[in-house]
Copies of this chain bind each other. A is one copy, B any other.
């Protein structure tokens, strides 16, 4: 046996308190127990669960062998806890709990994306004040160590952009709509029945959850303050099967992406359904898996995939963070890597929604008459929008009138220009439907 580090014999165990024994907290408890031997070999000392916080006994998880506090705040104040794990979720009690724990000099590990995206600035300041760690790998993309990749592995890079499938529910629904040729509503119902979507699916299908995660990724990528309000957010509830099939016909798959991009107009942060070329790695990620594609100025594109949710995959990241914090215990008692990868977060110019550029997919219904198409293309040209591809479907009869569906794929252009062109196009007599607008990304390096 060759000892490579920690020649000191038998360091005292690092003491862990877990508050919230649900899916993630229960997984954390299980993992700390079942993988204890391997973890001790990696850390060079044991992790000991000294205290649990649970308002009531959890279903299906035996916590009888532990010191259980009914008041979560008691764990934050306990003198026998070095690292507090917050897995209760939400942003009210969780915020109080984390602040209290930090004020009591405890390191905090959390999987709570909403908490970090919305209150991260306050909490990180409290951690810095107390010289303790606040880490949250599990808050983005479950078991994929993507925060660590940005913060450490790619730390030498200036990040050009990143794009991720970071909401498993949305990806499950879009994949199932495509594979089973089903509409949104019944597919959501099926996802709910299978436990892949919540009874109230708003957070997932309206893009809020993905936006929380993108907010955190953007800070890790660019060192900008956590600013949830800065994001432009669109979910998948308006995606039709028709659009999925047209996109397919044109060589694209529709994915719900979080995108953070450095542009001349500032940092562009947006969450929305996106047409992705089928050859791109992101297009082949189906079901509840998460993936992030990161373009660094030195490394080029790198791609990370894994389980984005679930008890043990998320616990894998929580416990990875516990190990990281515990590895820092020594003379300084503090992990030396900044939580977001930058020692100082610096506000940078943000790109407005109007200035934000990409290619676009436009779908509309036109009367099948001479000049209809020419009217559309000349209006697009008027606003500087050039067309990359166009698809006109066979006309169909409706109310005695021939109507045809037109799909236009544009070259890269600002959203502002598209909005202006569409305002004019919508008023044209030949246009007989709303215009569906979706972003397209080519992900060129």
Contacts and interface: CB of A to CB of B under 8 A. Distances in A.
Nearest to A141: B302
Nearest to A330: B332
Interface string A124-167: 11011000000001000011110011011111111000000000
Contacts of A302: 143-145, 304-307
A370 interface: no
A346 interface: yes
Contact of A156 (B144, B157, B323, B343): B323
Given A35-B298, A152-B152, A42 B145 contact: no
A338 B145 contact: no
A344 B41 contact: yes
Interface in A292-319: 296-307, 312-313, 315-319
B344 A336 contact: no
B300 A303 contact: no
B330 A336 contact: yes
A79 interface: no
A368 B281 CA distance: 45
B128 A7 contact: yes
Given A1-B345, A4-B128, A304-B302, A155 B320 contact: yes
A72 interface: no
Interface string A27-53: 100010001001101111000000000
A328 interface: yes
Interface in A214-230: 223, 225
Contacts of A223: 38, 41-42
A341 interface: yes
Contacts of A128: 3-5, 7
Contacts of A257: none
B299 A156 contact: no
A324 interface: yes
A378 interface: no
A18 to B, nearest CB: 14
A154 B145 contact: yes
Interface residues of A, number: 81
A151 to B, nearest CB: 8
Most B CB contacts (10 A, CB to CB) among A153, A223, A337 go to A153
A312 B143 CA distance: 28
B4 A343 contact: yes
Contact of A124 (B4, B43, B225, B296): B4
Question: Most chain-B CB neighbours within 10 Å: which of A44, A225, A284, A296?
Answer: A296
Contact of A5 (B303, B313, B338): B338
Contact of A312 (B298, B317, B319): B298
Contacts of A203: none
Contact of A1 (B44, B151, B331, B346): B346
A104 interface: no
Nearest to A305: B303
A6 interface: yes
Given A41-B223, A154-B320, A4 B306 contact: no
B303 A158 contact: no
A330 B223 CA distance: 22
Contacts of A319: 155-156, 298
A369 interface: no
A316 B149 CA distance: 12
Nearest to A30: B298
14 contacts: A3-B344, A5-B344, A38-B158, A41-B344, A144-B153, A152-B324, A156-B316, A281-B305, A299-B312, A299-B313, A299-B317, A300-B306, A301-B306, A330-B336
Closest 7 CB pairs of A and B: A145-B153, A156-B319, A44-B343, A302-B306, A143-B299, A299-B316, A298-B316
Given A2-B124, A302-B304, 8 more contacts: A4-B125, A31-B298, A42-B155, A44-B344, A145-B152, A153-B317, A155-B320, A281-B305
